[in-house]
């Protein structure tokens, strides 16, 4: 019986690709006095290439951009500060995020969020999506001293929700850090498809829309009732 549902954040609840594109285009516009010599499309595309879906931190990204695109009127550190303070204004949820969370809460399920990243930044993202109140436990890697795919992070999340890992379902977009790692701790593993990976072999279920999470829960409930 599934008693808790845990989620990854970036690429799972947050439409990160859309959010990053919105931010970087807005940054180019707002800082036109510094960046206008670079075509907006070129600036945005190179930023997205360099940050590699969030796996390269922005200090390195802005250093490289400054070097490649001759950004001389603002230090890379100030561009980074702008990212840290302004990204939250561009956070875009995937469709059906809030309605899905509402439905799960109505079912009496405990909800958790497990994400890699920096504490303040990820908390700002969660607040921007207006979903913080839905979660009974939020674990951010910097604050926990652990990073996915470390199994201890998943086990800690289950413990904070007062459930066994075998009573949890985990939904994430990364085939290894989310799906495989969750399944290795005994959780039901759900892959939310991503344009960045072709497949997640370890997944018990695959979804394309957050609304499908409820369908999986209902499917598992029917299976239990049939068994009984």
Give the pLDDT score at 221. 83
Q: How far apart are CA 93 and CA 109, in angstroms?
A: 21
Reply yes or no on whether the pLDDT at 31 is more than 80: yes
Residues 199-215 have pLDDT tens digits of 999 999 999 999 999 99
Mean pLDDT within 17-33: 97
Give the pLDDT score at 88. 97
**pLDDT top residue among 12 and 53:** 12
Mean pLDDT of the chain: 95
Task: Give me 37's structure tokens.
Answer: 């010599």
Contacts 24+ apart (CB under 8 A), 188-193: 188/2, 188/216, 188/220, 190/216, 192/11, 192/12
Q: How far apart are CA 12 and CA 207, in angstroms?
A: 11
Q: How far apart are CA 176 and CA 93, in angstroms?
A: 23
Answer yes or no: are the C-beta atoms of 97 and 131 closer than 8 Å: yes
Reply yes or no on whether the pLDDT at 198 is more than 90: yes
Pairing of strands 188-192, 205-207: parallel
Residues 74-110 have pLDDT tens digits of 999 999 999 999 999 999 999 999 999 999 999 999 9
Reply yes or no on whether the pLDDT at 171 is more than 90: yes
Model pTM score: 0.95
Answer yes or no: are the C-beta atoms of 184 and 24 closer than 8 Å: no
Reply yes or no on whether the pLDDT at 156 is more than 90: yes
Answer yes or no: are the C-beta atoms of 123 and 43 closer than 8 Å: no
CB atoms within 10 A of CB 144: 17
Reply yes or no on whether the pLDDT at 225 is more than 90: no
Give the pLDDT score at 84. 96
The upper half-sphere exposure of residue 123, i.e. CA atoms within 13 Å in the direction of its Cβ, equals 10
Residues 101-155 have pLDDT tens digits of 999 999 999 999 999 999 999 999 999 999 999 999 999 999 999 999 999 999 9
Task: Give me 75's structure tokens.
Answer: 């230090």
DSSP bridge partners of 4: 110, 168
Give the pLDDT score at 227. 52
Reply yes or no on whether the pLDDT at 49 is more than 70: yes
Reply yes or no on whether the pLDDT at 224 is more than 80: no
Task: Give me 228's structure tokens.
Answer: 């009984």
Contacts of residue 98, defined as CB under 8 A and 6 or more positions apart, other chains included, come to 130, 131
Contacts of residue 41, defined as CB under 8 A and 6 or more positions apart, other chains included, come to none
Furthest CA-CA distance within the chain:
69
State how far Cα 176 lies from the chain centre.
14
């Amino acid at each position: 019986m599934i008693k808790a549902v845990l989620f990854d954040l970036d690429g799972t609840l947050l439409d990160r690709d859309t959010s990053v594109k919105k931010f970087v285009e807005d940054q180019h516009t707002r800082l036109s006095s510094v960046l206008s010599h670079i075509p907006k499309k070129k600036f945005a595309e190179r930023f997205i290439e360099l940050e590699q879906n969030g796996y390269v931190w922005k200090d390195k990204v802005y250093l490289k951009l400054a070097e490649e695109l001759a950004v001389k009127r603002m230090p890379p550190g100030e561009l980074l500060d702008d990212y840290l303070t302004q990204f939250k204004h561009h956070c875009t949820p995937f469709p059906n995020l809030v309605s899905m969370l509402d439905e799960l809460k109505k079912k009496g399920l405990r909800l958790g969020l497990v994400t890699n990243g920096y504490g303040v930044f990820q908390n700002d993202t969660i607040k921007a999506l207006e979903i913080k109140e839905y979660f009974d436990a939020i674990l951010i890697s910097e604050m926990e001293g652990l990073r996915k795919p470390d199994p201890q992070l998943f086990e800690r999340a289950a413990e904070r929700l007062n459930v066994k890992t075998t009573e949890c379902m985990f939904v994430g977009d990364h085939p290894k850090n989310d799906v495989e790692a969750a399944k290795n701790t005994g959780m039901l593993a759900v892959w939310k498809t991503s344009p960045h990976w072709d497949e997640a072999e370890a997944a018990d279920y695959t979804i394309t829309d957050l609304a499908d999470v409820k369908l999986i829960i209902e499917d598992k409930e029917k299976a239990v009732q049939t068994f009984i």
